[in-house]
Amino acid sequence: MTARWSTGACRSRASTTGVRSLFPLLTLHAPSPPGPVDHVTSFAVFAQTNAPSGEFMFEFDEDEMFYVDRDKKETIWQLSEFGRGLSFDFQGGLTNIAITKSNLDILTERSNHTQDSSEPPEVTVFPKEPVELGQPNTLICHVDRFFPPVLNVTWLRNGQPVTEGVSESVFLPRTDYNFHKFHYLTFVPSDEDVYDCKVEHWGLQEPSLNHWEAQEPVQVTEATETVVCALGLVMGLVGIITGTVLITRALRSSRDPRAQGPL
């Protein structure tokens, strides 16, 4: 397999809230005529006047590999295995953020501080594993297709905020230059608890409450089970009888000389 570096044009969107950009860096493919590529690596960097003030992250085939933590001044790997065989100097990410912030300041002045439009998020809440009451699981709140990358997300259990067992991803880039993000809540499913993922964003007129609760398994009555078993037995008998008749006719036809064609 050979590697081909393909540098795409930088697209950016400037406002008093941020600049968004996505840079395709590397495509890998076998030595063959131009066509679909096998893998794509990319990095995303943004700076804005609101928190978070900036971010630098790197992904492979749209899966996050690492990001640079500005406060800790270190590279945070999504999986520790990545960091064992690869390395990235966090200073490079901080430099990219600083350059983007400088560009933001220039573009803000030139645009006369005109605020950019906001794209409201789409939110989905779902469990990581099939739900079994009393068995630990993780709720995932996927906030998708929003801009700018400014977001407040709160988990609610029975209407009350939850702060334990929560975690989140960084802002992840999309190919349409919007963002998406994951929020997680570890929990034990119960038929008494209900959960909401509360999302606040400039693109929403009011906070979005996205509900989830464990569904009761469908109870099959004894009468229903009896009817189903009876129908299954009847269908089985019909199949046996039909099969026997067809086999008998076939055997008779094979023994009847008149049923055979000319040699």
Extents of the domains making up the chain: 2-110, 122-213
> Does pTM surpass 0.75?
no
In this model, does residue 260 exceed pLDDT 60? no
Rounded to whole angstroms, how far apart are CA atoms 54 and 153? 18
Q: Give pLDDT, residue 20.
A: 40
Q: Give pLDDT, residue 36.
A: 76
In this model, does residue 195 exceed pLDDT 50? yes
Which of 23-37, 42-56, 73-87 shows the lowest per-residue confidence on average (mean pLDDT)? 23-37
Looking at CATH, the fold of the domain delimited by 2-110 is given as 3.10.320
In this model, does residue 24 exceed pLDDT 50? no
Q: Output 252 or 182, whichever has higher pLDDT.
A: 182
Band of residue 29 on the pLDDT scale cut at 50, 70, 90: very low
Band of residue 94 on the pLDDT scale cut at 50, 70, 90: very high
Asked whether 138 and 167 are in contact (CB, 8 A), the reply is no
Rounded to whole angstroms, how far apart are CA atoms 143 and 119? 12
Band of residue 21 on the pLDDT scale cut at 50, 70, 90: very low
In this model, does residue 250 exceed pLDDT 70? no
Query: What H or E segment, with its residue span, contains residue 181?
Result: strand 179-187
| 87: exposed, middle or buried (Cβ count in 10 Å: 0-12, 13-18, 19+) | exposed
Q: Output 237 or 262, whichever has higher pLDDT.
A: 237
Asked whether 126 and 209 are in contact (CB, 8 A), the reply is no
Band of residue 45 on the pLDDT scale cut at 50, 70, 90: very high
Q: Give pLDDT, residue 79.
A: 82
Q: Give pLDDT, residue 103.
A: 93
End-to-end CA distance of the chain, in Å?
Answer: 62
Q: Give pLDDT, residue 233.
A: 59
Q: Cα-flanking dihedrals φ and ψ of residue 165, to 5°?
A: 75, 20
Which residues, 6 or more positions from 51, have their beta carbon under 8 angstroms from its beta carbon? Answer: 150
Compute the average pLDDT of residues 161-188: 95
Rounded to whole angstroms, how far apart are CA atoms 2 and 117? 42
Report the CATH architecture of 122-213: Sandwich (2.60)
Band of residue 8 on the pLDDT scale cut at 50, 70, 90: very low
Q: Give pLDDT, residue 50.
A: 86
